[in-house]
Structure 1
Amino acid sequence: MAKRVTLFEPPPLDASKAQIENVLELTPVVDIGPDVFTNSRPLWHPPGARGIYGGAAIAQSLAAAMRTVPADFAVHSMHCYFVLAGDSEVPIVYHVERVRDGRSFATRTVQARQRGRPIFTTTLSFSRANSGGKKQLNHATPMPDIPFPQEKTALKKVFDETGGGPFEAEKAGILNRDSVKPEEKRIRRWVRSRGTVTGGTHAHLSALAYITDSYFIGTVSRVHDIPRFSSPADLKRFLNALKNPSDLDDTDISRALKELKEEEAADLRRRLEGALDRAKDYKQQEDHKQVGMMVSLDHSIYFHNPWDFRSDEWMLTEMESPWAGEGRGLVVQKIWAKDGTLIATCTQEGVVRLKQDEPPRSKI
């Protein structure tokens, strides 16, 4: 008998909705309580990761909380902690607590549980639209002047929308790429949901939350020029992992390969052709660094303009890492809408540990 990875039989895909809306769909669990929800569909477990894609827990927790606030309230901040790795073969149950309801602000907490244990927790604050008054202070970091990605041909667009993941990404360059100071580098990407999101503001916010966790903590290793795959053997192991049917289906394999090609293949090729050719034996390099563990600890999103963007239009992300140390790293991400509006600022801290040299062996 096949394992059930959702509490209820997944409903048929809704062709009128974008793929990301179907992925993030929730089902109320009325037998437990009025503010309890569960994932309607199986959740993605990226190859090599300890658990499910964190963006799913972030986005579905936000979606659950938004169901408990008035329609004229929108989220303005969300502070999350990853407690345990999520198991893709076990349903997630989201418990929403209505902490406070005020005239201008409302507060919610959401705890995501598997097997009765919390795997993820978040506190969210919502503000009522137009509650800031007529006189306001306004400023925002402008969007960098970067050309938009070229639109694909009709045939290629149809293929991507039917054969890729719930969102797509295009590289937009690395500012200060040759700097010797990692904190000066800025990694930029264009991102957007595939298809047309039809669910209104809440659907666009959930989609944005889902996308924010993509390649986030990995920025720490990238600004240090440490590739995710530091040898051909590592890359081969990754590709073999993609063939595991218990983790991924054909769509997810295509998505992972596409992301690998777009985000890391060029850097990997450049480094392998240089560093690996210059030193056949890595152990002889005193300064060789290789990531041994990379896990997100917390994730915060400040939604600046929740009403003024579409997640299915190109959004520009810019990531930087102002600090790393003590086996951890911090990344800050800014996100602009297509028209240049700064729509969100995100932060993420995670464990970033390097593989350590083998301790000297005793001569006795």
Structure 2
Amino acid sequence: MSKRVTIFDPPAQDHSKALIENVLDLTPVVDLGPDVFTNTRPLWHPPGARGIYGGAAIAQSLSAAMRTVPADYAVHSMHCYFVLAGDSEIPILYHVERVRDGRSFITRTVQARQRGRPIFTTTLSFSRVGSGGQKTIHHQATKPNVNLPEAEPGSLRALSNAGGGPFESRKAGIVNREFCWQDRCRRGHANRACVGTSVNPEEKKVRRYIRARGHISEEGGYQAHLSALAYVTDSFFIGSVAIVHDIPRFSSPAELEKLLSALKNPSDLDDEDITRALKELKEEEAADLRRRIEGALDKAGGENQEDHKEVGMMVSLDHSIYFHNPLAFRADEWMLTEMESPWAGEGRGLAIQKIWSKDGVLIATCTQEGVVRLKQDQPPKPKI
């Protein structure tokens, strides 16, 4: 019996909505209960990943929970655990449990299941808008002074739904990186993408601008922007642990090709989009490899084999989002993310992410811990 990617036949793309709205669309499964939902369309399996893109499970769980709370309650925190890798060739069922309905706060849990087993679980808290009173304390981390991305020549925002997935992003530099992204900058830092130098990974910060393609519909309301934000919080996140250590995700072009072949069921990308997305990924990884090689040549005698590091396994374990200003941003406008890693050890790494709106409002703070294991020089000892 062949697998079904979705329980119900997916409808055609709704072009009145942004691509991310189509990707995250849910369908109620009333036969199983009033608070059970499933993915309307297939979900993306990133190249080289163990399962579906984690941001999809995060965002669809949020969407499912928001369908069970009044419109005047907005999510303020979400705590998630990735239990098993999601299979993009099997439908996901999102079961929402109404834990508590209070006058100021509402609590929900959501469990995402495949074949009856939980693959993802989250607890969410919603607060009634305006329940803090007229007098409140206020402060926030200041948005870094980073120029907004320039428009690409010949590109039209209205046509941006046509390629590369539901989000577009631009690198905004790495604070305290020893070498710049661009090959010729080196340590002179003439390039804006390089700010200062440090050999300490915990002092580096990875910045990137990101926004949803197209225009998120008025029909989707602020909930669509929150779901889109939740979706993107998992992008590049635990990978920042490797970046601050200057370790490429792929050790060679051949390995990259092998991992790209693992891409399956990309759902929201057609053949042209897949080609474009893979081309961009290849170019980014090739730049990483060139920079790493050139950096090694700068060292006397080249890179010491003992210093050579390659990522062997990188998997997210848990993920938390604190939504600070849920009604004060648009996910289809440029948002600045800044990621750092205060700690790594014992085969794990911790990453922290701040996200600002285009206008400088701090809209979210996220944390993520994951398995970050390096390839070992010696094979593991057999168990006796």
TM-score scaled by length of structure 2 = 0.88
CA distance in 1, matches of 2:87, 2:128: 36
The aligned counterpart of 2:121 is 121
| Pairing of 1:172-321 with structure 2 (within 5 A) | 172-178=172-178, 179-198=198-217, 199-241=220-262, 249-250=270-271, 251-261=273-283, 263-275=284-296, 285-321=305-341
Provide, for residues 36-83 of structure 1, a one-character-per-residue CA deviation record: whole Å limited to 9, x for no partner.
000000000011100000000000000000000000000000000000
Q: What number of residue pairs does the alignment pair up?
A: 358
Judge conservation of contact 2:216–2:225 (CA < 8 Å) in 1: yes
Judge conservation of contact 2:42–2:265 (CA < 8 Å) in 1: no
Provide, for residues 200-227 of structure 1, a one-character-per-residue CA deviation record: whole Å limited to 9, x for no partner.
1000000000000001000001000101
Judge conservation of contact 1:27–1:37 (CA < 8 Å) in 2: yes
Judge conservation of contact 2:159–2:214 (CA < 8 Å) in 1: no
CA distance in 2, matches of 1:260, 1:287: 25
Give the direction of change, closer, same or farther, for the CA distance of 1:175–1:259 in structure 2 (3 Å limit). same
State the AA in 2 paired with 1:207: A
TM-score scaled by length of structure 1 = 0.92
Judge conservation of contact 1:231–1:272 (CA < 8 Å) in 2: no
The alpha-carbon deviation at position 20 of structure 1 amounts to 0.3
The alpha-carbon deviation at position 314 of structure 1 amounts to 0.1
The aligned counterpart of 1:44 is 44
CA distance in 2, matches of 1:211, 1:147: 21
Give the direction of change, closer, same or farther, for the CA distance of 1:293–1:210 in structure 2 (3 Å limit). same
CA distance in 2, matches of 1:360, 1:245: 34
Task: Kindly report the root-mean-square deviation, in angstroms, between the aligned alpha carbons of the 2 structures.
Answer: 2.4
Secondary structure class of the residue paired with 1:20: helix
Give the direction of change, closer, same or farther, for the CA distance of 1:161–1:265 in structure 2 (3 Å limit). farther
CA distance in 1, matches of 2:134, 2:257: 59
The aligned counterpart of 2:68 is 68
CA distance in 1, matches of 2:90, 2:161: 28
The alpha-carbon deviation at position 269 of structure 1 amounts to 1.8
Give the direction of change, closer, same or farther, for the CA distance of 1:154–1:161 in structure 2 (3 Å limit). farther
The aligned counterpart of 2:145 is 145
State the AA in 2 paired with 1:114: Q
| Pairing of 1:29-108 with structure 2 (within 5 A) | 29-108=29-108
The aligned counterpart of 1:338 is 358
After superposing the two structures, state which structure 1 stretch, 35-44 or 171-180, moved more.
171-180
CA distance in 2, matches of 1:245, 1:335: 30
Give the direction of change, closer, same or farther, for the CA distance of 1:241–1:30 in structure 2 (3 Å limit). closer
Provide, for residues 233-262 of structure 1, a one-character-per-residue CA deviation record: whole Å limited to 9, x for no partner.
3233234445x678975224423432453x
The aligned counterpart of 2:191 is none
Judge conservation of contact 2:89–2:265 (CA < 8 Å) in 1: no
State the AA in 1 paired with 2:306: E
State the AA in 1 paired with 2:93: V
List runs of 5+ in structure 1 lacking aligned partners: none
The aligned counterpart of 2:184 is none
State the AA in 2 paired with 1:350: G
CA distance in 2, matches of 1:259, 1:359: 30
After superposing the two structures, state which structure 1 stretch, 295-304 or 174-183, moved more.
174-183
The alpha-carbon deviation at position 163 of structure 1 amounts to 1.7
User: Identity of counterpart residues, as a percentage?
Assistant: 73
Judge conservation of contact 2:160–2:214 (CA < 8 Å) in 1: no
The alpha-carbon deviation at position 135 of structure 1 amounts to 1.0
Judge conservation of contact 2:296–2:302 (CA < 8 Å) in 1: no
Secondary structure class of the residue paired with 1:286: helix
Give the direction of change, closer, same or farther, for the CA distance of 1:99–1:239 in structure 2 (3 Å limit). closer
Give the direction of change, closer, same or farther, for the CA distance of 1:299–1:253 in structure 2 (3 Å limit). farther
Judge conservation of contact 1:75–1:125 (CA < 8 Å) in 2: yes
Judge conservation of contact 2:336–2:356 (CA < 8 Å) in 1: yes
CA distance in 1, matches of 2:279, 2:319: 26
